[in-house]
Amino acid sequence: MINPTTNNDTVSNHPAWLAEIKFDDQGLIPAISQDATTNQILMVAWMNAESLMETAQTGRAVFWSRSRKKLWRKGEESGHVQRVIEMRLDCDADVVLLKVEQIGGIACHTGRASCFYRRLDQTGGTSQWIATDPVLKDPELIYK
């Protein structure tokens, strides 16, 4: 698990590491969640400075919900928490990768292990998205 922030090097009451991140004009950065054991991509969400700091401090994935305009602590409704093992920043400093342990094995609100459960099938002269991964739990049972 990542260690709580103990670095006293701060800029404007933010950790120095945060200043290296290139947020977009809305103060957001895309974040990819990846299973730390299997390397499967689980989901993509958005983070702001506050969610990044909370994630680093607690070791639990916290995102910014663009639709709800508030912090979204992964699993707060479903119980499917992401325990962060490692945080990485890409070469351009504009995408964050969270290597996580997906508690309960479900990352997607559809009840699947990953949000990337559809594959483009181009057989038979037509192209269509095909669901390839099973629903592990009915979403109606997850979000009551």
Residue 25 in marked binding region: no
Residue 9 in marked binding region: no
Strand segments, DSSP code E, in the chain are: 10-11, 14-15, 29-35, 41-47, 62-65, 70-73, 82-89, 96-102, 118-121, 128-131
Task: Give the Cβ contact number of residue 142 at 10 Å.
Answer: 17
Residue 24 in marked binding region: no
Q: Which residues face 62 on adjacent strands?
A: 73
Residue 94 in marked binding region: yes
Q: Rounded CA gap, 4 and 92, in Å?
A: 25
Residue 90 in marked binding region: yes
Residue 92 in marked binding region: yes
The one-letter amino acid at 24:
D
What values do phi and psi take at 59, rounded to 5?
75, 15
Q: Rounded CA gap, 79 and 75, in Å?
A: 4
Q: Which residues are annotated as a binding site for Zn(2+)?
A: 91, 108, 115
Q: Which residues are annotated as a binding site?
A: 90-92, 94, 108, 115
Q: Which residues are annotated as a binding site for Mg(2+)?
A: 90, 92, 94
